[in-house]
Chain A
């Protein structure tokens, strides 16, 4: 195990059902920093998220990924979560019959070595819900069952806040959200980063629209095309994409090739 902190990805190649999707990804997300990964539909962004979290449908064909020195790729999905990785799903699963409160408690106690007594846990959850401006009635509902798109994303943000991971991947958290819901999600992440428990969390925000980045200012923006990160820059890169789309970058790539 290396002592180097960060989510470090080197030469990662991933295939799905025999089709190579990621063709060698190099990426470093440092604690407390926000990286945005942008790219058009089908460029491989979500594949990277699922491969890092260990989805069984994604086959890693080469490369490495470490989290604060721990070899992520050698671990089962739950062990990856225990090492500090969190994925906010684009399409969170609905699980009827499992109450939000029970799920939060089970996951919190699975991840942390200091299981909280119920009263303390309730206090923690209420604090986070307050931070995220969420109604406590969420807790009595079944996990994502019958939730609107915006409610699902807010619940992902609540889990993120309660579980306080070292590194969080937000996979198209902005998709399907209206302007108000998007602002609420952005503010949620902002509030989390202002809080002591979230200030060291490293973020990888996957999106194909720059809109969410108006609410969560990125330190670094990467652009993925056809399974490769083709360029990286500061927040201005997102503004360029907003103005010109991905064509300019794609054309520049073609010219270089």
Chain B
């Protein structure tokens, strides 16, 4: 990727900064009016997923972003792309996409986010200034993953990834947000639009510097028979806020969410997953594996909503949390709202320390207590790791091992 000078605004993502962003020619893939509407939505709406509680004290509405000045990057500057060559698959920046593929782009952009995006998704849309457009035409099946790497360098960045899979298309997209840069804010959106019987796997891996703020929204909509799988791993940043939502609005859709997070030391992670079964004869499966050590804190809210007409929905949500120190804390709130009669729905959550019986079993076979604990903790994550695309599993295991060791 060519090196491009970075221009910044001052005072964080303000109205004035938005005007500067909107005025840039590279930002023309989204109209100034669209950006302004999104910014107003950001300012008016609440991010608070529930009231700050006894342990979770961070008020998401009161986050001070004024120190994070928007980086107004040239299109494509933020994303490094690694993918197998293919003459029909499109991977490009949003501005190019809006010019060369206007119909697909215009129809898809914002179609999953809708008119009332969440607070931070609205912020990301307002300031969207880098990112990628992935288009896999109908019937095209990609075996190897498309890898997109976002490397925030300074201030605030707002990468917007739009993945469109045509009818019967298949693809795997890996979105990494990774950087050692200090004092950065990344606030991105990954939007997926899956055609009939399309299969889309998207894995988001966040490993920013320990003082960063990472905010992400993954949102998907699909047509009949579409399979969508969001995988998300949150490793870095002092505060990571992630929301994943799959809108099941067509028959025989298959919605899957797999989550890994591991706050350590003073890190906070706040994750919300939502599956909306609006149409029946559909399936969803959410698996969450989290651990916390040191004074790490996390909150997970997992929602499954089965709407009144969504008969024959089959929904499953499993959430396991492992506490590796006395000061670590994880609030886990899985919630099922079922308004249809003829459905299958399951949810379960566990929060606890490592079982002494497991430790003794391993120690009795010669593993010292630290090695036994490490092996149990890494094994705990493995069912979720194995749901990620094969190309990222090794780095996930390495990251988890580094977390467990310290």
Interface residues of A (CB under 8 A from B): 53-56, 76-78, 80-82, 86-87, 89, 92-93, 95-98, 102-103, 106-107, 110-111, 142-143, 159, 163
Contacts and interface: CB of A to CB of B under 8 A. Distances in A.
A93 B361 CA distance: 6
Given A93-B357, A95-B358, A77 B379 contact: no
A97 B383 CA distance: 6
A77 B364 CA distance: 5
> Nearest 8 pairs between A and B by C-beta?
A97-B379, A97-B382, A98-B379, A81-B366, A93-B361, A77-B363, A110-B366, A111-B366
B382 A159 contact: no
B376 A53 contact: no
A111 B362 CA distance: 12
B375 interface: yes
A160 B381 CA distance: 27
| Interface core residue of A56, A82, A97, A163 (most chain B CB under 10 Å) | A97
B366 A107 contact: yes
Interface residues of B, number: 24
Contact of B382 (A98, A107, A110): A98
A76 B362 CA distance: 12
Contacts of B367: 78, 106-107, 110
B352 interface: no
A98 B376 contact: yes
Interface string B344-377: 0000000000011110111111111101100110
Contacts of B378: 97-98
Contacts of A106: 367, 371, 375
A95 B361 contact: yes
Given A107-B365, A110-B368, 17 more contacts: A54-B364, A78-B368, A81-B363, A81-B366, A87-B364, A93-B357, A95-B358, A95-B361, A95-B362, A95-B379, A96-B382, A97-B379, A97-B380, A97-B383, A98-B375, A98-B378, A106-B367
Nearest to A109: B366
Contacts of B381: 97
Contacts of A77: 360, 363-364
A102 B382 CA distance: 13
Contact of B376 (A56, A82, A95): A95
A10 to B, nearest CB: 22
B320 to A, nearest CB: 9
A103 B375 CA distance: 9
Contacts, number: 82
Contacts of A80: 364
A96 B380 contact: yes
28 contacts: A53-B364, A54-B363, A77-B363, A78-B366, A78-B368, A78-B369, A78-B372, A82-B366, A86-B365, A87-B364, A93-B360, A95-B358, A95-B361, A95-B376, A96-B380, A96-B382, A97-B379, A97-B380, A97-B381, A98-B382, A102-B375, A103-B362, A106-B367, A107-B366, A110-B367, A111-B365, A111-B366, A163-B365
A143 B375 CA distance: 11
A142 B365 contact: no
| Interface core residue of A53, A78, A142 (most chain B CB under 10 Å) | A78
| Interface core residue of B357, B361, B365 (most chain A CB under 10 Å) | B365
A77 B360 CA distance: 8
A104 to B, nearest CB: 9
Nearest to A87: B364
A222 B8 CA distance: 83
Interface string B332-344: 0000000000000
A209 B375 CA distance: 36
A96 B356 CA distance: 15
A72 B112 CA distance: 64
B88 to A, nearest CB: 37
Nearest to B384: A97
Contacts of B375: 95, 98, 102-103, 106
A58 to B, nearest CB: 11
Nearest to B289: A97
Contacts of A87: 364
B343 to A, nearest CB: 26
Contacts of B357: 93
A55 B379 CA distance: 23
Contacts of A111: 365-366
A201 B88 CA distance: 65
A103 B371 CA distance: 11
A112 to B, nearest CB: 9
Contacts of B358: 93, 95
Contacts of A143: 379
Contacts of B380: 96-97
A96 B379 contact: yes
Contacts of A89: 361, 364
Contact of B363 (A76, A96, A98): A76
A55 B360 contact: yes
A81 B361 CA distance: 11
Contacts of A142: 379, 382
